[in-house]
């Protein structure tokens, strides 16, 4: 299952980053999922939530998942902006220029999965 592998990768990134920064708790994480990443955000959120709950450092972390639109550059008319996505076929979505309806587009953004930010609590150094 693709979502499980991605959830595990995100979890590892969050945990390793928190540990490398001497965190005592992860309070929040923001994850961006491009519409062309071929992931189900709800499944990812569920699986990642289970992983986070099982780790003391992350068990109370708030998870924010944002979906990123597909940005394109049209080779036909020069349009640059948000493309139209026909994802009726989950494995081969079609991207169309909203101006001229051409398929001759370059995807500029919307394919990636990014951990945009991780908020942590650190132990107070003033003892």
3-state secondary structure of 20: helix
Q: Is residue 125 pLDDT above 60, yes or no?
A: no
- Distance (Å, whole) CA 58 – CA 68: 25
Residues 6+ apart with CB under 8 A from 58: 11, 14, 15, 18, 25, 26, 51, 52
Question: What dotted CATH number matches 1-69+110-127?
Answer: 3.30.2320.50
Tell me what pLDDT residue 68 has.
Answer: 94
- Position 1 pLDDT exceeds 80: no
For 119, which DSSP code?
E
pLDDT tens, residue by residue, 52-102 = 999 999 999 999 999 999 999 999 999 999 999 987 766 678 899 999 999
* pLDDT tens, position by position, 111-122: 999 999 999 999
pLDDT at 2: 80
| pLDDT reported for residue 41 | 86
Break the chain into its structural domains and give their ranges.
Answer: 1-69+110-127, 70-108
106/96 Cα distance (integer angstroms)? 10
pTM: 0.83
pLDDT at 15: 96
8 A C-beta contact, residue 72 and residue 97: yes
Which pLDDT score, from 0 to 100, does residue 126 have? 46
Instruction: Quote the radius of gyration of the chain (alpha carbons, Å).
Output: 18
């Amino acid at each position: 299952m693709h979502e499980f592998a991605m959830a595990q990768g995100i979890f590892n990134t969050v945990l390793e980053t928190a540990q490398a920064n001497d965190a005592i708790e992860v309070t929040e994480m923001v994850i961006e999922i491009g519409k062309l990443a071929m992931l189900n955000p709800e499944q990812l959120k569920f699986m990642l939530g289970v992983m986070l709950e099982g780790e003391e450092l992350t068990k109370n972390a708030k998870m924010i998942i944002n979906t990123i639109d597909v940005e394109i550059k049209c080779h036909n008319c020069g349009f640059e902006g948000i493309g139209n996505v026909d994802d009726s076929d989950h494995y081969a979505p079609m991207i169309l220029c909203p101006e001229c309806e051409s398929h001759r587009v370059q995807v500029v953004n919307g394919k990636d999965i990014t951990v945009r930010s991780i908020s942590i609590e650190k132990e107070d150094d003033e003892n």
